[in-house]
Amino acid sequence: MLSFDRVAHLSDANAGPGLLSGAVPLDPSAALLTDRVAVVTGSAIGIGEAIALAFARFGAHVAICDRDVENLDGTADGIEAAGRRVVAAELDVRDEDACREFVHTVRDELGGVDVLVNNAGGGFFADFVDVNAKGQDALVRENFGSVTNFVRPVVAAMGERGGSIVNLTSIEAHRAAPGYAVYSAMKAAVTSLTMSLALELGPRLIRVNCIAPDVIPTPGVGPVGVHTPLPVAGHVDDVAACAVFLASDLSRFVTGTTIHVDGGNLAAGGWHRRSDGQYVTHAP
């Protein structure tokens, strides 16, 4: 059995500078986002609002955007109440020029960008054969184009120390989604893009990861049934906690991956938990 000192020595010999080498000992400050600048799209309500407010509580200045101006103002008030600076704008994330202009404004007012969370997106229920070309284009632009529209200008706004990009996908990116085929395909596309960007942007110290939520009640989704391995529903703050981790130095060696905040649903696959706690391979 190796001693602790021997394990530490081996780790140091194979690690670069930073937390892994022991040059920066791991402590609670690694979870903080003090004075970093984060952009969170779709941040008026639900998961986006929770992430924006959590970032502010952990010390970040936050730029937020949404088409829902009334609720966006509430998010902005919460950020300011945490003592952080905020830039807020009514914005359609499908508009590439507007996204680029917003990022330029953030860079001018807050001094650059350290974190991007691509949260905006949405879909509607319809069999694939009933989705016309206009509807399909809307789904592609809202769930995939919205990501690329922000990644390009944000990467240009990130400094030499790099940064973190977090893309919100869905459990539907990893399984079939009847009635949401195009939405699911776009979330899968974002997952694939995330892995490619992790390689392309790695030399610039920019990490790129996904969060795939499920069973998270939000104003857009409403109440959800709980048949997850964990016998409780999730909360938007569960997703926000994951986003804080991926934005912070705690995840400095994490890139190109997806974290599932789903109560164990992906792991369960076709298994369903009954009310008595037993698992069956058919719906309860």
CATH architecture of 27-280: 3-Layer(aba) Sandwich (3.40)
| Averaged pLDDT, 268-281 | 80
Query: What confidence category does residue 18 fall into, taking pLDDT thresholds of 50, 70 and 90?
Result: very low
**Does position 251 have pLDDT exceeding 90, yes or no?**
yes
Rounded mean pLDDT, 122-131: 95
Please state the rounded mean pLDDT for residues 145-171.
97
Per-residue pLDDT at 46: 96
- What value, to the nearest 5°, has the Cα angle with vertex 261 and ends 169 and 16? 85
Which is the catalytic residue, given 55, 144, 150, 183?
183
Least confident of 9-23, 35-49, 67-81: 9-23
User: With 80 as the cut, is the pLDDT of residue 255 above it?
Assistant: yes
CA distances from 46 to 7, 158, 189, 232 (A): 44, 27, 23, 18
Please report, for residues 53, 61, 100, 146, 284, the alpha-carbon distance to residue 107 in angstroms, rounded to integers and kept in the order given. 20, 12, 11, 19, 51
| pLDDT tops 60 at residue 25 | yes
Q: How far apart are the first and last CA of the chain?
A: 48
Q: What is the per-residue pLDDT for 108?
A: 97
Q: Mean of the pLDDT values across residues 253-280?
A: 89
Confidence tier at 220 by pLDDT (50, 70, 90): low
Lowest mean pLDDT of 11-20, 65-74, 107-116, name the range. Answer: 11-20
183 in catalytic set: yes
Q: How many CB atoms lie within 10 A of CB 57?
A: 18
Query: For residue 14, is pLDDT > 60?
Result: no
> Per-residue pLDDT tens for 237-246?
999 999 999 9
Q: Does residue 187 have a pLDDT over 90? A: yes
pTM as predicted: 0.89
Instruction: Name which residue leads in pLDDT, 7 or 253.
Output: 253
